[in-house]
Amino acid sequence: MESTRQQKISRLIQKELGDIFLLQTKQMQGVLISVSAVRVSPDLGLAKTYLSIFPSEKGKELLENIKANVKAIRFDLGQRVGKQLRVIPELAFYIDDSLDYLENIDKLLQSGNKPKDKED
């Protein structure tokens, strides 16, 4: 169970990383990266960040670029929250594919509920 401190830090990091990615993706047409969740470890040393990337076909490529630039992203985050946090946690990025999963389930449900034509 997360402590209140962990929850506050998670929300702060989620908001600030969302702003950072919004500024970065303005240059790329048709790409949207949103931070769907942040989980901070109990010692506040690691922040697991889950990203929702649109379009999902570019997800792996964009995640690799983000992982390659994790130091610069952490620096930008430190510039934004340095007054509120003593130590900026290490960042680990993962793809949040829950929306793709939900979309797939929705498609399956729609295809299974098609009315069949009755011939009398």
The per-residue pLDDT string of the chain (120 residues; one tens digit each, 9 = 90 and over) reads 778 999 999 999 999 999 999 998 888 888 889 999 999 999 999 999 999 988 888 888 999 999 999 999 999 999 999 899 899 999 999 998 777 777 788 888 888 765 555 554
Query: What is the extent of the structural domain holding 56?
Result: 4-112
CATH number at 89 reads 3.30.300.20
pLDDT at residue 36 in the model: 92
| Cα 93–chain centre separation | 8
Determine, yes or no, domain membership for 61: yes
CB 99 within 8 A of CB 59: no
Question: In DSSP terms, which residues pair with 50 in a beta bridge?
Answer: 37, 94
Number of C-beta neighbours around residue 40 at 10 A: 24
pLDDT at residue 111 in the model: 81
pLDDT at residue 105 in the model: 86
Domain total in the chain: 1
pLDDT at residue 108 in the model: 85
Determine, yes or no, domain membership for 117: no
SS3 label, residue 52: strand
Question: In DSSP terms, which residues pair with 25 in a beta bridge?
Answer: none
Determine, yes or no, domain membership for 56: yes
pTM of the model: 0.80
